[in-house]
Amino acid sequence: MRPVPPTAWRLAAGTLTVALFAACTTSPTAAPSTPSNQGLSQPEANAVAEVVATDAAALPAGAAFDWAFGVPFAPAPMLGAPAMATASVSCTPTRTPSPVVDTDKDGVPDSLHVDFTGCSFTGGTFTLTLSGAIDLVDPTPTVADRAFRTRYDSFTRSLKNSTDGSTRTVVENGVREVLGTATSLLLTDTMQTDYTFATGAKASHVRKWASTFTADQGQTIQMGWHLPSGTWNISGSSSWTSGTNSYALSVKTTQPLHFNASCTVEPRFDAGTLTIVVTKGTTTTTVSIQFTACGQYTVTRS
């Protein structure tokens, strides 16, 4: 594949804030299984929070796409490392069809298949490799509006740190649907994330979330471009499994998450709280993820 200069990749990816997971928390090992009549331990809470925070961080990228390159802003949400503005990039996603067709001229392709196989870039000690595919569809191809749907087919982001040899991987399958106006979006997430921690431990998060995005005052949402700063509200239910652990999750924002488009690390939330009520057997534990600054959050349990 031909190299793409960093300036072009910034357009293609929406941001070079491809990042390491959970800069502000200790990467969990395989969390020990505790009895079903006991609440989550702190390591278990940290593991749940890392996966849920990753999925929340994916929403801004999943709610936008780049019309100029015909690809979703897919690579960005991997939590924590600094922006890779000097990244060495090799990525030319395969687009079908080409040229892109937009019958109603609303900025959403009628139907576009994007295969990311072979895409990679490096910056500092990090190398990101992409694979799998995303389908981008206009559900109303003859009506000009702000609706689109994306289907993720084993879309995989694998991030390796050459300093310690660790690798974290996210594999996404499922569907996102977006309906919007010039200042707000409604997003429905029916997705499965299969997550591999740096330690090699694995987890699966199967969810159905509904979320809304409202642009900050004076900001507007441009179809075919990344989102401006604004607030996210999230609610929904999911299941989380890792080894012998299996939990039911109820997720909601108890304080709206403020998405800061100028952040150079993931997650690009600089305020807000995401609360997870985790049911484990006969016991519930409340896990709170409080975002305090770009790329920073704390995890508490009660």
Could you list the pLDDT tens digit for every one of the 302 residues in the chain?
333 333 223 333 333 333 333 333 344 544 445 555 678 999 999 999 999 999 999 999 888 877 655 555 555 455 554 444 434 566 778 889 988 899 999 888 899 999 988 888 777 777 888 899 999 999 999 998 889 999 999 999 888 888 888 899 999 999 999 999 999 999 999 999 999 998 999 999 999 999 999 999 999 998 878 899 999 999 999 999 999 999 999 999 999 999 999 988 888 999 999 999 999 999 999 999 999 999 899 999 99
Q: Show the beta-strand stretches assigned E in the chain.
A: 65-66, 71-72, 88-90, 94-96, 111-115, 119-123, 126-137, 147-161, 167-180, 184-196, 202-215, 230-242, 245-259, 269-280, 283-293, 296-301
Closest CA to 232 of 82, 19, 55, 72: 55
- pLDDT at position 121 is 78
* 8 Å CB contact between 131 and 116: yes
Supply 34's token pair. Answer: 């505790």
Q: What angle do CA 158, 191, 69 make, to 5 degrees?
A: 60
Which amino acid is residue 237, in one-letter code? S
Helix, strand or coil for residue 54?
helix
Instruction: Enter the pTM of the model.
Output: 0.84
- pLDDT at position 36 is 56
- pLDDT at position 88 is 55
* 8 Å CB contact between 226 and 220: no
* 8 Å CB contact between 274 and 289: yes
- pLDDT at position 37 is 60
Helix, strand or coil for residue 236?
strand
- pLDDT at position 202 is 96
**Residue recorded with tokens 């030319």:** 92
- pLDDT at position 10 is 32
Helix, strand or coil for residue 32?
coil
Helix, strand or coil for residue 254?
strand
Helices (H) and strands (E) in the chain, counts: 2, 16
Angstrom distance (rounded) from CA 88 to CA 6: 7
Angstrom distance (rounded) from CA 206 to CA 248: 10
- pLDDT at position 164 is 86
Strands 147-161 vs 126-137: parallel, antiparallel or unpaired:
antiparallel
- pLDDT at position 20 is 34
